[in-house]
Amino acid sequence: MKILQRYIASTILSSTFIVLLILMGLYTFMDLITELDDLGKGNYQLTDVLAYIFFSMPKRIYELLPIAALLGSVLGLGTLASQSELVAMRAAGISIQQINKAVIVVALCLMVVAVVVGEVIRPPAEQYAREIQSMAQTGTVGSRSEHGFWTRDGLHFNHIDKILPDGRFSGISIYEFDSAHRLRVITAAEQAQYGDDEQWQLSNVIQSNIDEKGVEVRAIEHALWKSQLNPGMLNIVVVPPEFLPVWSLLEYINFLKDNHQAVEQYEMAFWIKVMMPLSSAVMVFLAVPFIFGPLRSSPIGGRILAGALVGISFHLFNQTFQHIGLVFGVLPWLSAAIPTIAFASIGWFFMMRLR
Q: Give the whole-number percent of the chain exceeding pLDDT 70.
A: 89
Query: What pLDDT is attached to residue 21?
Result: 95
Over residues 205-239, the pLDDT tens digits come to 999 998 888 888 888 888 888 877 777 666 555 56
Over residues 131-185, the pLDDT tens digits come to 788 778 766 655 555 567 777 777 888 888 877 766 678 888 999 998 888 898 9
Confidence check: pLDDT of 243 > 60: yes
Q: Give the whole-number percent of the chain exceeding pLDDT 90.
A: 13
User: What single string gives the DSSP state of each residue in 224-268?
Assistant: EE--S--GGGHHHHHS-GGGS-HHHHHHHHHHHHHTT---HHHHH
The backbone torsions φ and ψ at residue 214, rounded to the nearest 5 degrees and listed phi first, read 140, -155
Mean pLDDT of 87-103: 79
Nearest to 311 by CA among 30, 73, 25, 15: 73
Mean pLDDT of 242-266: 79
Strands 200-211 and 169-177: unpaired
Query: What pLDDT is attached to residue 147?
Result: 65
What's the residue count for the chain?
355
Query: What pLDDT is attached to residue 28?
Result: 93
Which sequence spans correspond to the domains of the chain? Answer: 2-139+264-354, 149-231
Angle between helices 96-116 and 2-36 (to 10 degrees): 40
Over residues 293-347, the pLDDT tens digits come to 655 555 666 666 777 778 778 878 888 888 888 788 788 888 888 888 988 888 7
pTM summary value: 0.72
**In sequence order, what are the residues at sequence separation of 6 or more whose Cβ sits closer than 8 angstroms to the Cβ of residue 257?**
263
Residue of higher predicted confidence among 115 and 131: 115
**In sequence order, what are the residues at sequence separation of 6 or more whose Cβ sits closer than 8 angstroms to the Cβ of residue 187?**
172, 173, 174, 176, 202, 205, 206, 207, 208, 223, 225
Helix (H), strand (E), coil (C) string for 156-181: EEEEEEEECCCCCEEEEEEEEECCCC
